[in-house]
């Protein structure tokens, strides 16, 4: 058995592999549920119903998908350049911090002005947080995976300090929380969902154009393919890395603003909900394409919401629901291997024509007789 890289894979073949991987995951998950004495079809239909079965359920799925979309787009910019930004959670927290800094100190400003200022400060704070890792990478060639991961914990402890000490709300009866944002600092709703969904849709379109049809997108793509090629093309590598990573962090910070303003209504250590790590999976599944990120985020959000629903509707244990989700994700991620590589099998007892030709050529070169 040999692993051979595919020369060219059509979109049709990629789709077939993805679909087969999902089917395989559902079959394995079905066997797993049967062992637990649950009807697989009932549970699977329940997951769909839990995610898209009513207006309220669809709303919750969209609300969960919004931060995934924005964060995954931000992370995909860094990943496209092969800068492994694992610091999404920390950048979301610092973005939420920036939004809270404005909301809690300038809450009397007009709503539109206040929200715009919150978003700008959130993006700057998170961009600077990502900028730290970019500078260390360009100056000292540090491992960005470790640096961005460690920055997550620093951001977490910083917000914990604010929540439990410096910004602790005295009116909270001793409960460790930061004061709620004023009404002016809360994002308005449209069609029953906060306007974060509009921001997400705009970003999908904008960053698709940027990555496909702009100078910055070209520089990021070339640098991701080969640093030597980027140098040959006259691209300023350090400047491109710093610029792209700042934007990557800023988008994660925008997620922090939206979550703190529209979902939590305050700053807390729970504001990320693990979105920064989940967005990494979404970005990879989407092949770093912003349009596909939108679709995958909705499906992923539906998978999560559906998993929660079957726990209450059918009594499926939380651990079992997580296993089902993990099986589907593992299979889809694993299918990436088969879109890039293929397995070749051959009988060791059968000598192929190419093998014979290779032996003949070797004999001729070494002066041997056939």
Higher pLDDT, 55 or 340: 55
Q: What is the pLDDT of residue 206?
A: 96
Q: What is the pLDDT of residue 142?
A: 93
Q: What is the pLDDT of residue 104?
A: 95
Q: How far apart are CA 365 and CA 234, in angstroms?
A: 45
Q: How far apart are CA 64 and CA 301, in angstroms?
A: 6
Q: How far apart are CA 286 and CA 282, in angstroms?
A: 6
Percent of the chain at pLDDT exceeding 90:
68
Q: What are phi and psi of 7, to 5 degrees?
A: -75, -45
The mean pLDDT of 310-323, rounded to a whole number, is 88
Least reliable range by pLDDT among 29-43, 108-122, 337-351, 354-368: 354-368
Q: What are phi and psi of 106, to 5 degrees?
A: -130, 35
Q: What is the pLDDT of residue 125?
A: 97
151 closest CA partner among 86, 83, 70, 244: 86
Q: How far apart are CA 327 and CA 300, in angstroms?
A: 13
Which pair of tokens denotes residue 241? 């890395």
167 closest CA partner among 94, 97, 120: 97
Q: How far apart are CA 139 and CA 134, in angstroms?
A: 9
Q: How confident is the model at residue 360 (pLDDT cuts 50, 70, 90)?
A: low
pLDDT at 347 over 70: no
**Residues sharing a CB contact under 8 Å with residue 56, sequence separation 6 or more, in sequence order:** none
DSSP state of 168: B
pLDDT at 357 over 70: no
**Residues sharing a CB contact under 8 Å with residue 164, sequence separation 6 or more, in sequence order:** 176
Q: How confident is the model at residue 318 (pLDDT cuts 50, 70, 90)?
A: confident
CA–CA distances in Å: residue 20 to residues 3, 56, 294 = 20, 31, 22
pLDDT at 100 over 70: yes
Element (H, E) at 342: strand 341-344
Max CA-CA distance within the chain? 96
Which pair of tokens denotes residue 365? 């070169």
Q: How confident is the model at residue 370 (pLDDT cuts 50, 70, 90)?
A: very low
User: Do 220 and 77 touch, CB atoms closer than 8 A?
Assistant: yes
- Helices 11-35 and 40-52 cross at an angle (nearest 10°) of 120
Long-range contacts of 183-187 (CB under 8 A, 24+ apart): 184/107, 184/108, 184/109, 184/110, 184/111, 184/114, 184/115, 185/99, 185/102, 185/103, 185/107, 185/114, 185/115, 185/118, 185/261, 186/261, 186/262, 186/265, 187/115, 187/258, 187/261, 187/262
User: Do 70 and 251 touch, CB atoms closer than 8 A?
Assistant: yes
Q: How far apart are CA 108 and CA 185, in angstroms?
A: 9
pLDDT tens for each residue of 125-138: 999 999 999 999 99
Q: What is the pLDDT of residue 289?
A: 92
User: Which CATH number applies to 60-315: 3.40.50, 1.10.3470, 2.20.28, 1.10.287?
Assistant: 1.10.3470
Which pair of tokens denotes residue 81? 């350049």
Cα-Cα end-to-end distance for the chain: 29
pLDDT at 353 over 60: no
Percent of the chain at pLDDT exceeding 70:
94
Instruction: State the average pLDDT for the chain.
Output: 90
Q: What is the pLDDT of residue 352?
A: 54
The mean pLDDT of 221-226, rounded to a whole number, is 90
pLDDT tens for each residue of 153-166: 999 999 999 999 99
Q: What is the pLDDT of residue 366?
A: 61
pLDDT at 365 over 80: no
Q: How confident is the model at residue 140 (pLDDT cuts 50, 70, 90)?
A: very high
Least reliable range by pLDDT among 33-37, 65-69, 360-364: 360-364
Q: What is the pLDDT of residue 339?
A: 80
pLDDT at 78 over 50: yes
């Amino acid at each position: 058995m040999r692993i051979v890289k595919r020369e060219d894979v059509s979109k049709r073949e990629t789709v077939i592999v993805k679909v087969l991987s999902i089917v395989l995951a559902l079959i394995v998950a079905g066997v797993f549920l049967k062992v637990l004495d649950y009807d697989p079809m009932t549970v699977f239909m329940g997951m769909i119903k839990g995610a898209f079965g009513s207006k309220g359920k669809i709303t919750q799925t969209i609300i969960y998908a919004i931060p995934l979309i924005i964060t995954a787009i931000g992370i995909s910019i860094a990943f496209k350049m092969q800068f492994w930004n694992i610091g999404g959670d920390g950048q979301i927290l610092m973005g939420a911090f920036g939004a809270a800094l404005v909301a809690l100190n300038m809450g009397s400003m007009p709503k539109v002005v206040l929200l715009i200022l919150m978003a700008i400060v959130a993006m700057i704070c998170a961009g600077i947080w990502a900028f730290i890792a970019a500078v260390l990478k360009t100056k000292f060639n540090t491992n960005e995976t470790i640096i961005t991961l460690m920055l997550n914990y620093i951001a977490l402890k910083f917000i914990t300090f604010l929540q439990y000490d410096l910004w602790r709300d005295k009116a909270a009866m001793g409960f460790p929380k930061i004061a709620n944002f004023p009404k002016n600092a809360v994002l308005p709703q449209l069609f029953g969902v906060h306007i974060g969904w509009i921001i997400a849709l705009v970003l999908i379109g904008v960053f698709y154009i940027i990555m496909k049809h702009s100078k910055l997108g070209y520089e990021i793509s070339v640098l991701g393919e080969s640093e030597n090629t980027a140098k040959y093309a006259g691209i300023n590598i350090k400047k491109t890395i710093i610029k792209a990573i700042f934007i990557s962090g800023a988008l994660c910070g925008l997620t922090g603003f939206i979550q703190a303003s529209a979902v939590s209504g305050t700053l807390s250590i729970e504001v990320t909900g693990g979105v920064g790590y989940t967005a990494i999976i979404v970005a990879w599944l989407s092949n770093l394409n912003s349009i596909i990120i939108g679709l995958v985020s909705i499906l992923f959000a539906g998978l999560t919401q559906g998993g929660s629903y079957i726990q209450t509707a059918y009594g499926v244990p939380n651990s079992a629901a997580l296993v089902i989700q993990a099986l589907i994700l593992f299979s889809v991620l694993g299918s990436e291997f088969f879109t890039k590589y293929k397995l070749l099998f051959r009988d060791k007892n059968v000598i192929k024509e190419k093998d014979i030709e290779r032996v003949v050529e070797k004999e001729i070169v070494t002066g041997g007789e056939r």
